[in-house]
Amino acid sequence: MAALSSEIATCLSKVGEKITDKSAAEEALAKLVNFAKEGVAAAPFLVKGLPGLLTTTSNKEKKIASAACEVVEAVIANLNQYAVRLVAPILIASLGNKKIPRRRSVRSRCWR
């Protein structure tokens, strides 16, 4: 469990508001999709990084933005039903930050 936590934390540190290495960010997002598909074991660590992932969905680089969208959708799809209480406020808070169409569309897809 500690190894999983550290791997996810490493991947999450490569994405967010300011991305310095685009290829490393793409690789990290690909790994995060795989972690998200693992389900319950990785969910607590991914939920912790969800605000950063939502920020990454509005990146100017289309490959990074679409990969971040894929990660967010995978996290939400494989989330435990009891984690909704934790995730809903994060999604609601992210809607009001900035009026970025790409970011808003990802968040609205999460509510479906």
Domain that holds residue 64: 2-110
| pLDDT at residue 7 greater than cutoff 90 | yes
Region 42-47: mean pLDDT is 90
24 contacts 14 by C-beta, under 8 angstroms? yes
46 contacts 9 by C-beta, under 8 angstroms? no
| pLDDT at residue 26 greater than cutoff 90 | yes
pTM of the model: 0.81
How many domains does the structure of the chain reveal? Answer: 1
Q: Which helix (H) or strand (E) holds 21?
A: none
**By CB neighbour count within 10 A (0-12 exposed, 13-18 middle, 19+ buried), where does 96 fall?**
exposed
d(C-alpha 104, C-alpha 78), whole Å: 21
